[in-house]
């Protein structure tokens, strides 16, 4: 399965020049746990700011002037991304290797086309494994249909 088939095409984005308070308000308004920071005047992701970055990185340290801190000053410099045409299992490996739960999804030119989260991959894998478990129940019945008089596996 390709990443683009599992990712969400609607991505909440923000400018690096916006305040982290504005980012927090945007996350609340849009009911999301992250915002993707874009390059100026382009759809190229520069970073990702998560609710965890705000809570653990700023609030827990006693930072109070959230309206004075720019998003660009808080986002990490190493952004892990994935291309929409990549395999979903490879995406999961990449998340595990880099220790990230969300990744911006890019097209071949590097423009943002979506976002994928750990939860999206878990839901897909769960559905896939559930479908595979149906085989256990269907296989004996199929065997009986193919070989009349057979009572199934012994």
Q: Which residues contact 111 (CB under 8 A, 6 or more apart)?
A: 42, 43, 44
Q: How confident is residue 150, by pLDDT bands cut at 50, 70 and 90?
A: low
Which is higher by pLDDT, 40 or 152? 40
Predicted pLDDT of residue 144: 73
Query: What residue ranges define each of the domains in the chain, with the CATH number in brackets?
Result: 3-117 (3.10.580.10)
Predicted pLDDT of residue 154: 53
Q: How confident is residue 135, by pLDDT bands cut at 50, 70 and 90?
A: confident
Q: Quick check: 121 pLDDT over 70?
A: yes
Q: Quick check: 131 pLDDT over 90?
A: no
Q: How confident is residue 73, by pLDDT bands cut at 50, 70 and 90?
A: very high
What is the per-residue pLDDT across 77-98, written as a single tens digit (0 to 9) for each? 789 999 999 999 999 999 999 9
Q: Quick check: 138 pLDDT over 90?
A: no
Q: Smallest Cα–Cα separation from 82: which of 123, 120, 26?
A: 120
Predicted pLDDT of residue 7: 97
Mean pLDDT, rounded, of the chain: 91
Residues of the chain with pLDDT > 70: what percent? 94
Write the DSSP string, 5-26.
HHSBS---EEETTSBHHHHHHH
């Amino acid at each position: 399965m390709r990443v683009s088939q599992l990712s969400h095409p609607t991505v909440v984005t923000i400018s690096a020049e916006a305040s982290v308070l504005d980012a927090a308000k945007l996350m609340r308004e849009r009911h999301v746990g992250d915002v993707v920071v874009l390059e100026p005047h382009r759809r190229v992701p520069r970073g990702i700011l998560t609710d965890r970055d705000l809570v653990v990185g700023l609030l827990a340290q006693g930072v109070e002037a959230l309206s004075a801190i720019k998003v660009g000053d808080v986002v990490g410099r190493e952004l892990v991304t994935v291309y929409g045409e990549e395999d979903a299992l490879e995406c999961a490996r990449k998340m595990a290797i880099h220790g990230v739960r969300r990744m911006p999804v890019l097209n071949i030119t590097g423009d943002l086309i979506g976002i994928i989260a750990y939860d999206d991959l878990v839901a897909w894998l769960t559905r896939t494994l559930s479908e595979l478990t149906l085989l256990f129940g269907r296989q004996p019945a199929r065997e009986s249909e193919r070989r009349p008089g057979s009572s199934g596996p012994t």
